[in-house]
A and B are shown apart, each in its own frame.
Chain A
């Protein structure tokens, strides 16, 4: 029952420890979370109620904008940006739908063309047409109602990639079309992320639907399956585990990836892989003003800023996507290895929304059955 001095010591240490731990916790510094680094003095106080001087951007985890860029926005417009990131593009789109009318922010960036109609149909956005939309960017615009609420910001092409070096080393002809992938000479050589679990995987499913039609794509997938296609859950493990050129020394020289991916396989100034340009599906990312936004002018100003030359030029390096402004130069290291296909396989966003569930279920049954 008696207490030793050691007991007291341990208790004291524990006490000191818990106090010091508490002081280094997150609760103390909520004020510093407003990410715009400029004129930070005004954001002190830590009150959670946003002032009209703040624009809250709702986006996905892949959104990357250097502090200097956001500081420039603050300088130009007087608004500070608070970035609220959550999950991937799918989670983002659904969050926006679920929180419609009482949004978590003012402006959303990162809704892509496979989710666009769902967000627009749900009535989660307020129409805004930016006067800053660059010449030539209108070809990425949506059609109908959706065009009024979503502004295209960037795009990326999802394409089948081929490890040219592997095919050269094995003295085999490389595949040139989606049809080739079902041929016996390419048995067990193709890996793709699944449509239900991965956004490039979904894009590839849509590419096959565009190519083979509403009634032909299931058949195509049956043939792919018979030909030993490997379906992984995510892009990262298809690339880094199964692909021969992905660093993991995999066993499959054909992978579903992006048209920019060959830039990561450059050896001695030359890409050792290439994208199969007839297989590409274009993913376009959009921004929109959220319905019920507390700071609508700020939201609009931010969309204009995303379309500005500076931000557009920052996108390839930061987010691995192409700016919608054709006048903005793309990075030099992409020029040698990356081709932007003239023609991509397309499915109308409204049609995607109407059929998404049906297609995914059929696809699941086809590949897992």
Chain B
């Protein structure tokens, strides 16, 4: 076959743009922070830096991070897969609503959720009898609460596009529902499950506000430790060592998922048709109902407390959010802040989705040699790093790395969406790349052989499998961008606060009214997100006929 120069040149070019973005806005800042820690004043100080690893506290922190994240991931996956089945495969009413509900925690400021959880679990709360306040069980519950949407959406999206005929054939040959699930469906879902599990693990290990709020002083993860070491102790050496450790974990995880997902190509020809509910679905329905109640409990707490005015009930907190000047802390109305958030998140989503598409195309290319495969795997890992590296490191890194023209961007308004896009980008890749992998390369080759140029090949072959995952990725990226506060909070932002910033301002002020308003603002943020996600879903449902 004739080889076009475009076949290697184009991917290389496509890789260059996202790589440049990542290099400037992530690798450079992180490297600068690590260098500040390990190579201050032009001399390597590895010895004293490694001392942090010998501290007993560090050992405890590492161990806790490892087991709580593993356990959190396991439970999230075990709960998430049946929910994905119920909400994406069964012909049931209200599944769209359930999906919207499950994604709400994703955007809620972690401190607010932490407080909602604590209100439930505190000695005086309705679940106080569990004695979970300040315990690891509380942290675990919150981790599952936050991440369940990742599994439901990633796995559900793939489930929807599975070719149902395989399962039908197995059933026709006499396999029971469990056998079908075990031998046909689960293997086909494996890439999505592994991919989601990896993201959840990284989110668990990197969760910060939840662990701080619910763990009190007893529990600390690598992420909270880096935060404390950096902001409180300004111990950049120790923080650098822990950041490197985080990077190593991300790379190891990625190699592991690579191993686990390799060799399971699946033709995705599903039309998204729903099947009728059978009696065998009962356990899944029960799990879904329980999970909904579990997600609802803290949300209801939030809503109730946002409506609580003194000893009575009312919309006062909501009303005050819309009046500038009624509360001095509030320099803009909640609608203005919401608009700012939405705009920043739109920018972030555009950046993340465009770059994510490019990255996905490149890393899903078939490499002809082992060396090529390794390059692609390394590339894949590089783009996952932002999920695993501490927001403090990135945030402060911006400050010290992007401080010289032409890159003096430290107070550029665009830096906020860029920071959000960094977190969203890996998620886009994780959703889009598996879909691209499922394209039979022979289809592309056939199209090319018939004389189609690269764009034509894309339009005729890839676009068709890409649409649904792409919409899912857009929704995901958008939710992540709306809720991102970690790295954002370290950036010197020109005023025009986003809604999460307003919520933190309100919550940090003494006074019951401020607290009520913070909760009201959180409820608005979560509701708007759920609505946006539902609209994206609708778009996705309509396009099912492609």
Interface contact A320-B510, CB-CB below 8 Å: yes
Question: What are the residues of chain B within 8 A of A236 when measuring CB–CB?
Answer: 111, 115, 507-508, 515
Interface contact A250-B399, CB-CB below 8 Å: no
A345 at the interface (CB under 8 A from B): no
Identify which of B115, B124, B125, B233 contacts A360 (C-beta below 8 A): B233
Are A196 and B232 CB-contacts (below 8 A) given A61-B501, A237-B118? Answer: yes
Are A26 and B344 CB-contacts (below 8 A) given A82-B494, A87-B489? Answer: yes
The chain B residue sitting closest to A58, CB to CB, is B492
A: contact size bracket: 35 or more
Question: What are the residues of chain B within 8 A of A91 when measuring CB–CB?
Answer: 231, 489-490
A177 at the interface (CB under 8 A from B): no
Proximity bits, A61-99, B CB within 8 Å = 1, else 0: 110101100000000000000111111101100110111
The chain B residue sitting closest to A241, CB to CB, is B118
Question: What are the residues of chain A within 8 A of B329 when measuring CB–CB?
Answer: 62, 64, 318
Are A86 and B492 CB-contacts (below 8 A) given A26-B347, A251-B123, A364-B57? Answer: yes
CA distance A177 to B394 in the complex (A): 44
Identify which of A95, A248, A250 contacts B490 (C-beta below 8 A): A95
A356 at the interface (CB under 8 A from B): yes
Are A25 and B512 CB-contacts (below 8 A) given A86-B493, A118-B234, A367-B217? Answer: no
Question: What are the residues of chain B within 8 A of A143 when measuring CB–CB?
Answer: none
CA distance A230 to B403 in the complex (A): 42
Interface contact A25-B510, CB-CB below 8 Å: no
Interface contact B413-A90, CB-CB below 8 Å: no
Interface contact A368-B218, CB-CB below 8 Å: yes
CB distance from B229 to the nearest CB of A (A): 10
CA distance A172 to B384 in the complex (A): 58
A6 at the interface (CB under 8 A from B): yes
CB distance from A9 to the nearest CB of B (A): 9
A113 at the interface (CB under 8 A from B): no
Question: What are the residues of chain B within 8 A of A82 when measuring CB–CB?
Answer: 411, 494
The chain B residue sitting closest to A21, CB to CB, is B346
Interface contact A250-B232, CB-CB below 8 Å: no
Are A66 and B328 CB-contacts (below 8 A) given A26-B413, A33-B496? Answer: yes
Are A94 and B492 CB-contacts (below 8 A) given A26-B344, A26-B414? Answer: no
- The 29 listed contacts between A and B (C-beta, < 8 Å) are A1-B460, A14-B539, A25-B347, A25-B417, A26-B413, A26-B414, A27-B414, A30-B413, A35-B494, A48-B411, A61-B505, A61-B508, A62-B509, A66-B328, A66-B331, A67-B331, A84-B492, A87-B490, A88-B508, A94-B396, A98-B400, A104-B492, A194-B217, A196-B228, A230-B216, A233-B217, A235-B510, A239-B510, A251-B123
CB distance from B58 to the nearest CB of A (A): 12
Proximity bits, B220-261, A CB within 8 Å = 1, else 0: 000000001011111100000000000000000000000000
A218 at the interface (CB under 8 A from B): no
Interface contact B115-A364, CB-CB below 8 Å: no
A231 at the interface (CB under 8 A from B): yes
CA distance A30 to B344 in the complex (A): 12
Give the residue among A4, A25, A196 with the most B Cβ atoms within 10 A. A25
CB distance from B395 to the nearest CB of A (A): 8
Question: What are the residues of chain B within 8 A of A14 when measuring CB–CB?
Answer: 539
Are A258 and B510 CB-contacts (below 8 A) given A1-B460, A98-B399? Answer: yes
CA distance A356 to B231 in the complex (A): 12
CA distance A258 to B514 in the complex (A): 15
Question: What are the residues of chain B within 8 A of A185 when measuring CB–CB?
Answer: none
Interface contact A261-B510, CB-CB below 8 Å: yes
Interface contact A237-B213, CB-CB below 8 Å: yes
Question: What are the residues of chain A within 8 A of B346 when measuring CB–CB?
Answer: 21-22, 24-25
CB distance from B316 to the nearest CB of A (A): 13
Tell me the residues in window 113-155 of chain B with beta carbons closer than 8 Å to chain A beta carbons.
114-115, 118-119, 122-125, 134
CA distance A249 to B404 in the complex (A): 52
Are A22 and B545 CB-contacts (below 8 A) given A34-B494, A368-B218? Answer: no
B412 at the interface (CB under 8 A from A): yes
The chain B residue sitting closest to A26, CB to CB, is B343
Interface contact B492-A196, CB-CB below 8 Å: no
Instruction: Give the top 5 A-B pairs by smallest Cβ distance, nearest first.
Output: A33-B494, A84-B492, A247-B512, A318-B328, A251-B124
Question: What are the residues of chain A within 8 A of B508 when measuring CB–CB?
Answer: 61-62, 88, 235-236
Interface contact A7-B414, CB-CB below 8 Å: no
Question: What are the residues of chain B within 8 A of A251 when measuring CB–CB?
Answer: 122-124
Are A240 and B232 CB-contacts (below 8 A) given A35-B495, A196-B217? Answer: no
Question: What are the residues of chain A within 8 A of B34 when measuring CB–CB?
Answer: none
CA distance A128 to B421 in the complex (A): 40
Interface contact B512-A240, CB-CB below 8 Å: yes
Question: What are the residues of chain A within 8 A of B516 when measuring CB–CB?
Answer: 247
Interface contact A85-B495, CB-CB below 8 Å: yes
CA distance A166 to B212 in the complex (A): 29
Are A105 and B494 CB-contacts (below 8 A) given A67-B331, A257-B510? Answer: no
Question: What are the residues of chain B within 8 A of A99 when measuring CB–CB?
Answer: 399-400, 403, 410
A357 at the interface (CB under 8 A from B): yes
Question: What are the residues of chain A within 8 A of B507 when measuring CB–CB?
Answer: 236
Interface contact A83-B510, CB-CB below 8 Å: no
Interface contact A85-B492, CB-CB below 8 Å: yes
The chain B residue sitting closest to A245, CB to CB, is B512
